[in-house]
Amino acid sequence: MHYLDAFRVPFQSPKWVQNILLMAVCILIPVVGQIVLMGYMFVVIEALHEGRKRPYPDLDFGRFVPYLTRGAWPFLVNLVVTLPFALVFMILYLVALFAVMGTSANSQGPNPLAMMSVVFGFVMVAMIFSCLIGLVLAPMMLRAGLAQDFKAGFSVEFVKDFLGRVWKETILAQLFLLATGLCLILVGYALCCVGLYPAAALLTFAQYHLWYQLYELYLQRGGTPIPLKPNAEAP
């Protein structure tokens, strides 16, 4: 695994400024923009895997609909997996918060220290759960995005085989993204929030490039290739 390459590769294209800015625009567009960006990133992964385009295909809004179509499947897989956990977590968080407010309330209001402890505790739990869910989501979304099929993302055999071969690298990749992501977000805020969206775009590219590296490593270790759609558009 070449972790730093995940941040170097985006700058290797002559149109890297345009790519980052267009990705930032996608992040700004609710839901649809996220799906388009996801579709583009799987075009990048597939092109790198097949060696069709180096360093990577540029983002072209003229292919908005193909990106949207391709990104729909991994987006739905992500939604189906994460939404139930998010709802349960939110309910538990509200219950705990109201419980603390009720038990610690006095004439001067709720105990701020108790409330901060609940918030901090749930933030830590959320980070741990995000890492655990991300561990499973990586192979699921890879398979759905490359095969361009919703059902393909729920192949238990593939998820088990993938994690059985590259689980350590997948965890390290998540920790690497977590650490670098915090730094990028701080830099984005330091630039009066103007750099926040380009930073998020760069972090998104890094995440998918690490997934590409994990998939290549998985194949090198004897993993089963994901069947690519034969009529997929070449970038």
pLDDT in tens, 166-207: 999 999 999 998 889 888 877 766 666 667 888 899 999 999
Residue for token pair 């092109």:
47
Spatial distance between the Cα atoms of 47 and 53, rounded to a whole number of angstroms = 6
Residue 234 is predicted with a pLDDT of: 47
Least confident segment among 63-67, 106-110, 130-134: 106-110
Percent of residues in the chain assigned helix, strand, coil, to nearest 5: 80, 0, 20
Q: Is the pLDDT of residue 11 over 90?
A: yes
- Closest residue by Cα to residue 195 from 206, 205, 187, 183: 187
Lowest-confidence segment of 98-107, 128-137, 157-166 by average pLDDT:
98-107
Confidence at 235, pLDDT banded by 50, 70, 90: very low
CA–CA gap between residue 157 and residue 159 (Å, rounded)? 6
Residue 234 CA: distances (Å) to CA of 9, 36, 53, 145: 20, 16, 9, 15
Quick one: pLDDT at residue 232? 47
Report pTM: 0.85
pLDDT band, very low/low/confident/very high, at 53 (cuts 50, 70, 90): low
